[in-house]
Structure 1
């Protein structure tokens, strides 16, 4: 078997027939400037070939699709292992998926609760007990020698008919005696009545009469076994006094029963603790933990309006105005005022609006709730489903309290805590709880393996910088970086060996304090015999690798070459690319620092959403500010869930629930607040950078204006792959088709009608200066700017993309293939382009030297909010991105960045550092001020690392 993966002649995307070797069982970092071909080599070549070979080893059903699956364009690849990709995006949309289910910790905790959990009676607070025949025998052995006793089998009696059948059956089985009113009676002599067994009383069948002695213990054991077998509620040992009368009754229950009140419980089993199983899921919310209720804040957003003035905004649309008219007619009949503000109506009148006329008929007003009940019955129409979703909000389920499980699962405790309570604990706190468990020897033996697995996975979550999460956190709410590190922790928890792991920037979202722990995690994977290939820009990870592949030297057609292949030491000594240059010179590089002083602030007081601890903070305006802190310190909660959410609510957006705070002042200083996040742009795979910035409209018009297009009667619409006309109808302009593999993930294959060319043949006959539309869509943005240099209007739309470092993207590349960082920069470029166009007052044909040059008069003041804008950027490209943001501030706007990159933080004018830790240990303002002030704060984790960086730049 080869000891390395050998790649020869890789030509995927912009790769220039490169040769590379990746050693097995080692950590290899693929680095290079943005667009140099890193993902093409790591994901589109290595991972794709590993997946192809894996599927090839499967059944004939899977293999029948193989010849339609594209093989990476490469001369040869040898030594490829089964591959797993951990990408920088979160593919999970299922609300049932949580951190606990994704890491399989829930599975082990379910087994733990089923094996050693104690069911506690919710009424009495005492532990429910379960007995066996051996329990009864041990009790008999403890009786004094010679003690007389009866072994009874209590049998439930449900009906008169059942009683008769039961007595007949017992007699045929050889049982002759029953216990009636404390006395043993022959069944033939005294026939019991059904009325004797009301109130849950049982028929006590005498199985045996014995006196305690060593010789009769074997018989006593057989009798106890028989009693448990025929009794519906276990067995009873009834001791007798000297006169043969009943003395003490000792009940040994077959199921779990509270000894105090007699309440029966289900025996714990793993499925009881799964909210994805019908056995364990709460029947009200079906295991989601939330239930939908009408959101009156959305339905009646302005209570100062009258009913006649469309206080019920839902019924103000042209389609539903008839509901308002019907309501007004009925209101006149029922004496409900329609010219009084809704907030001034009495409680009874508001109830009429909400619930309709009490005991009303079909012709009477049904109320808002009645209208939504009618919509529920018409859910098969998509517009009704959309309407239902728009005016609903989800609250914790009233039955389970958001725990997702049935009540009896929540009554089972381990160490005094229920299953949902453990899932709600932050990872370190749960780890400490399990370490401190005091178990009996038997329970400790049963739980040893389970606790080992759970503790190991919890430690992996801490090691990858996710200690602030809880196991109940929904996976769909995680960022792409967090989701990737969840996958990394799961991989470590698995027993996989000889596997190729391909990772996409695992340091995204990680504080500098967690980087070394991440490197240790990657080393742990290789220690198991796995091969790790990591696309990364972080210097510490590059220097901590076993091997470095540096691609470049530039982006797009100027990249795709292997600039360096060797160890990190060799990279520093003799590497010739931009990566080596940066690593050698970064200690001597002084990044530009403007040092602007803020004169205006947005003041936020008493913020206490999530883990924020009544935070008082000032957000500076007119400067470039950074919000920093370790993972889970509360940065996104402060910026997104509080500041930005309050802005949206202030603008009148409905459905917004801003983070709790005492006051927020200063928003009136802004004309707009723009959140440039990393969320996907729509859902269409047809969306691309050129369509998103509206540049494609100009390209289509240019093609439609050619002589050949006019001759063929082809218009700009024919060059659209979104509508019929010129596109290939077999693939609907996608160029690919999706094959349903049923038991496997869907496979995307090239369209066999157009061959991936997306358009009909006659459309591709049209050329513009010798290039077809397909050729143009295959150009990079940088190439297109040169090709259309004589079309200033088009270049003006493309220029912002190049300025934010996306010049290497292909015009036709789907936004669905972009990373979170690329999506964020694409959105920023679109905002910049629109801002210039809106503020210039010039013709769009103008071709400014920079698309972010602010013309006079200046455009309105905007606060741009960005979350890690340097994600996916090479170290050498970070400064290009920062110059874009700095020029935004120079033009009179404000920029607020949530960032971990120390080079970015060092260039900020103002830093807000949260912490000091993550989760419950965070949420406080540790320090604020210029970078130098943060660096000298001993309490700041960020400050400790920033101090070193500023010292390297000569600023400390």
Structure 2
């Protein structure tokens, strides 16, 4: 691979201000700056997008149409660009058959190990596969769980069949499937079900397939009768019918498979063992336990297999995932966990000379875990790869060979390169990043006295066993500990004990190019009504999704030209110039602006012209989103911005006194984090809230009123309440990993 640096000239994607920069090869480059300053625009929308587009062009036109399409970056020139791999925080599967074991290929190697050594010998490795008929449990089809229909939720016993006693679509009066019961001749169709005999209810629900002896004349001659439960199971459950998912959720209960007890395999596969453990036992061990179990096997004919499994386990453990097990479904992994699984997988690859682009890999990681991740970045670099990391965390910045700081502010006030160099010089620079790194916040030194507490006593969940804690009311409480220690489980306990608790998690807001800030906050109708009243026009005219839509682009603001195999070409609509509305609507002005121009304002400017939405504008300003445009599509927001948007919506509709935030500093620069801390503390006094945060950021933890530290480690080596009290007490008396990290951070 050429050692010539990647050269970017004249990048003006999104808010980038025609910037030029060099990325060194075979080095670690960290791109940092405030949230919204342009980091993702440079790393992902420019560099990665350009690379992916070039790679896609090497495939046939037919294959190109099947690949992801990347918007062409706005850049004058990019030179010396290698093959690029983007490692983001998106999930790694939406299939319940996909597990950590299958995704990482460790389970495949484990199957091979069992086929060689397990006693009794049951055949080749496929016999141990829960995704193959020869190995899967016949009861649950290898899923480890079964879905059962709950009769009480399916039937309304106070109604007759003709009145709609079967509460499921197509079995209601008028639905053709109901005739399979009303015309069978078995039932009194006008008698409420509560008056039926037990045998008739059993026949309705679970009747075997049969030809009815006395059906009505409307009964189809070749039709056979079968009970409701087997019919719905065969027609809807077994086929995973997406059309009726919400209806199925209402009547179906998921439980562990009674045949395999959640182990996914048939009895034959479960009978074969190595050192008294079958393959399902191994899949349920934590990765750390599995590695120890593997080390006790001493057989020459499986040395190579063991070596492969051990290497992959080591990479996952070093990524801070030793608490997971191979049977963990990929759908259940958090964004941060999924990203680290991908990271460990790339370490297993023999490919080199690649460019890896990581999107905020520090999210969800304790300082203890970050040290391990940093080691993996160095390993990838030392194998001959180039690394770009978009991140805010000082511990990640510290390992960089080169740092690029974007800013200084966000949105239109960002997009400039304000620093390039090493970490030492960044700390001394006059940038907001440098100033934040020099001022690492204050440690709360006084212990605040609380009189009232929320109590939780002797509760167990997941790896938390018989725990008891108290959380001071109207306080700022941080729940800390390494990834997998039990923090999220504790929040579930809090929510169960105190149902009024509002939890703002990390789940992304599902947005598209028709959803914007005002629609998410549910205040768009107020603005439309304001314009309608002021112009004496119907409210529907001010919606770009209906009457007011531009007739050319149908309210999208963009036109897509399908170029068949070449892909799509997206251009701004020339009729409305991207404003989405028809010419008639754009001529209607209130306070000097039409509705499209009003929505293009920032919250601060909007509040001056249109006080009608002041509560929403104040909420946006409070959470640090004063720089955004109100018409900005939700699919263009960063993860940190979406987190703050959720908080704004909570403030606007505030109805709970307990608010839980799951890692609210995700995606936030240290400069923004102090603003967030100040905001959360002001909300406590303004709204008399109790705010609880799951958090790893040491600046925030140091300023909390109360800390609940869980550990000492993850999985079954965690789940203990290691400390409960003030930050000062934790540093003074605590011997935990969090206490150690706080001491290092505050130079104590």
Per the TM superposition, whether the score is higher than 0.5 is yes
Residue number among 242, 255, 272 corresponding to 1:395 in the alignment: 255
Residue number among 483, 486, 489 corresponding to 2:338 in the alignment: 483
> 2:321 is matched with which residue?
466
Q: CA deviation at 1:619?
A: 2.7
**Are the equivalent residues in 2 in contact too, given 1:888–1:894 (CA < 8 A)?**
no
> 1:118 is matched with which residue?
118
Residue number among 565, 577, 580 corresponding to 1:759 in the alignment: 580
After superposition, the Cα gap between the structure-2 partners of 1:462 and 1:327, relative to the gap in structure 1 and judged at 3 Å, is farther
Q: Measure, in 2, the Cα distance between the counterparts of 1:696 and 1:314.
A: 40
> 1:548 is matched with which residue?
403
Residue number among 514, 528, 531 corresponding to 2:386 in the alignment: 531
Q: Measure, in 2, the Cα distance between the counterparts of 1:55 and 1:647.
A: 52
Q: Measure, in 1, the Cα distance between the counterparts of 2:102 and 2:587.
A: 54
Q: CA deviation at 1:763?
A: 5.5
Residue number among 704, 707, 713 corresponding to 1:917 in the alignment: 713
Residue number among 116, 124, 128 corresponding to 1:268 in the alignment: 124
Question: Which shifted more, 589-598 or 30-39?
Answer: 589-598
Q: Secondary structure at the match of 1:3?
A: coil
1:819-858 correspondence runs (5 A)? 819-835=638-654
Q: CA deviation at 1:777?
A: 5.1
Q: Measure, in 2, the Cα distance between the counterparts of 1:78 and 1:407.
A: 58
1:150-189 correspondence runs (5 A)? none
Q: Secondary structure at the match of 2:472?
A: strand
Q: Measure, in 1, the Cα distance between the counterparts of 2:546 and 2:48.
A: 34
Residue number among 525, 528, 536 corresponding to 1:697 in the alignment: 525
1:895 aligns with 2:723: no
> 1:96 is matched with which residue?
97
**Are the equivalent residues in 2 in contact too, given 1:117–1:268 (CA < 8 A)?**
no
**Are the equivalent residues in 2 in contact too, given 1:803–1:880 (CA < 8 A)?**
no
> 2:435 is matched with which residue?
581
Q: Secondary structure at the match of 1:877?
A: helix
After superposition, the Cα gap between the structure-2 partners of 1:702 and 1:62, relative to the gap in structure 1 and judged at 3 Å, is farther
Q: Measure, in 2, the Cα distance between the counterparts of 1:722 and 1:108.
A: 53
Q: CA deviation at 1:29?
A: 0.7
**TM-superposition CA deviations, 1:874-903 (whole Å, max 9, x none):** 001111111221122113111111111111
Q: Measure, in 1, the Cα distance between the counterparts of 2:276 and 2:562.
A: 51
Q: CA deviation at 1:733?
A: 2.8
> 1:224 is matched with which residue?
none
Q: CA deviation at 1:507?
A: 1.0
> 2:495 is matched with which residue?
644
What TM-score, normalized to structure 1?
0.68
**TM-superposition CA deviations, 1:644-679 (whole Å, max 9, x none):** 13444xxxxxxxxxxxxxxxxxxxxxxx31011121
> 1:673 is matched with which residue?
501
Q: CA deviation at 1:718?
A: 3.9
1:75-154 correspondence runs (5 A)? 75-90=76-91, 92-114=93-115, 116-120=116-120, 128=121
Q: CA deviation at 1:280?
A: 3.3
After superposition, the Cα gap between the structure-2 partners of 1:33 and 1:684, relative to the gap in structure 1 and judged at 3 Å, is closer
Q: CA deviation at 1:83?
A: 1.5
Q: Measure, in 2, the Cα distance between the counterparts of 1:297 and 1:58.
A: 55
1:167-566 correspondence runs (5 A)? 265=122, 267-269=123-125, 271-295=126-150, 329=191, 334=196, 370-376=227-233, 379=236, 384-439=244-299, 441=300, 443=301, 447-566=302-421
Q: Secondary structure at the match of 1:615?
A: strand
Q: Secondary structure at the match of 2:721?
A: strand
Q: CA deviation at 1:922?
A: 0.7
Q: Secondary structure at the match of 1:928?
A: strand
Q: Measure, in 2, the Cα distance between the counterparts of 1:734 and 1:111.
A: 55
After superposition, the Cα gap between the structure-2 partners of 1:68 and 1:410, relative to the gap in structure 1 and judged at 3 Å, is closer
**Are the equivalent residues in 1 in contact too, given 2:662–2:694 (CA < 8 A)?**
yes
After superposition, the Cα gap between the structure-2 partners of 1:477 and 1:808, relative to the gap in structure 1 and judged at 3 Å, is farther
Q: CA deviation at 1:335?
A: 6.4
Question: Which shifted more, 617-626 or 538-547?
Answer: 617-626
After superposition, the Cα gap between the structure-2 partners of 1:13 and 1:778, relative to the gap in structure 1 and judged at 3 Å, is farther
After superposition, the Cα gap between the structure-2 partners of 1:274 and 1:331, relative to the gap in structure 1 and judged at 3 Å, is closer
> 2:456 is matched with which residue?
604
**Are the equivalent residues in 1 in contact too, given 2:476–2:704 (CA < 8 A)?**
yes
Q: CA deviation at 1:757?
A: 2.9
Q: Secondary structure at the match of 2:107?
A: helix
Q: Measure, in 2, the Cα distance between the counterparts of 1:543 and 1:491.
A: 22
Q: Measure, in 2, the Cα distance between the counterparts of 1:766 and 1:919.
A: 62
**Are the equivalent residues in 1 in contact too, given 2:486–2:719 (CA < 8 A)?**
yes
Q: Measure, in 1, the Cα distance between the counterparts of 2:305 and 2:399.
A: 33
After superposition, the Cα gap between the structure-2 partners of 1:361 and 1:622, relative to the gap in structure 1 and judged at 3 Å, is farther
After superposition, the Cα gap between the structure-2 partners of 1:731 and 1:489, relative to the gap in structure 1 and judged at 3 Å, is farther
**Are the equivalent residues in 2 in contact too, given 1:624–1:886 (CA < 8 A)?**
yes
1:19-34 correspondence runs (5 A)? 19-34=20-35
| Bigger radius of gyration among the two | 1
> 1:813 is matched with which residue?
632
1:750 aligns with 2:570: yes
Q: CA deviation at 1:58?
A: 1.9
> 1:866 is matched with which residue?
661
**TM-superposition CA deviations, 1:669-726 (whole Å, max 9, x none):** xxx310111213346553332211124334444555676xx7xx7x543443444651
Q: Secondary structure at the match of 1:464?
A: helix
**Are the equivalent residues in 2 in contact too, given 1:594–1:909 (CA < 8 A)?**
no
**Are the equivalent residues in 1 in contact too, given 2:464–2:486 (CA < 8 A)?**
yes
After superposition, the Cα gap between the structure-2 partners of 1:732 and 1:759, relative to the gap in structure 1 and judged at 3 Å, is closer
**Are the equivalent residues in 2 in contact too, given 1:721–1:758 (CA < 8 A)?**
no
After superposition, the Cα gap between the structure-2 partners of 1:580 and 1:457, relative to the gap in structure 1 and judged at 3 Å, is same
**TM-superposition CA deviations, 1:456-482 (whole Å, max 9, x none):** 221111112111111111111111111
**Are the equivalent residues in 1 in contact too, given 2:445–2:727 (CA < 8 A)?**
no
**Are the equivalent residues in 2 in contact too, given 1:9–1:75 (CA < 8 A)?**
yes
After superposition, the Cα gap between the structure-2 partners of 1:888 and 1:753, relative to the gap in structure 1 and judged at 3 Å, is closer
Q: Secondary structure at the match of 1:614?
A: strand
**Are the equivalent residues in 2 in contact too, given 1:84–1:502 (CA < 8 A)?**
yes
Q: Measure, in 1, the Cα distance between the counterparts of 2:417 and 2:443.
A: 28
**Are the equivalent residues in 2 in contact too, given 1:49–1:72 (CA < 8 A)?**
yes
Q: Secondary structure at the match of 2:17?
A: coil
Q: Secondary structure at the match of 2:436?
A: helix
1:772-783 correspondence runs (5 A)? 779=601, 783=602
Q: CA deviation at 1:73?
A: 0.6
Q: Measure, in 2, the Cα distance between the counterparts of 1:362 and 1:800.
A: 68
After superposition, the Cα gap between the structure-2 partners of 1:496 and 1:809, relative to the gap in structure 1 and judged at 3 Å, is farther
Q: Measure, in 2, the Cα distance between the counterparts of 1:397 and 1:727.
A: 54
Residue number among 452, 456, 466 corresponding to 1:614 in the alignment: 466
**Are the equivalent residues in 1 in contact too, given 2:43–2:388 (CA < 8 A)?**
yes
After superposition, the Cα gap between the structure-2 partners of 1:814 and 1:101, relative to the gap in structure 1 and judged at 3 Å, is farther
Structure 1 alignment gaps of length 5 or more = 121-127, 129-264, 337-347, 649-671, 836-859
Q: Measure, in 2, the Cα distance between the counterparts of 1:26 and 1:281.
A: 46
CA RMSD of aligned residues (A): 3.9
What TM-score, normalized to structure 2?
0.86
Q: Measure, in 2, the Cα distance between the counterparts of 1:767 and 1:427.
A: 64
Question: Which shifted more, 942-951 or 505-514?
Answer: 942-951
Residue number among 404, 421, 427 corresponding to 1:572 in the alignment: 427
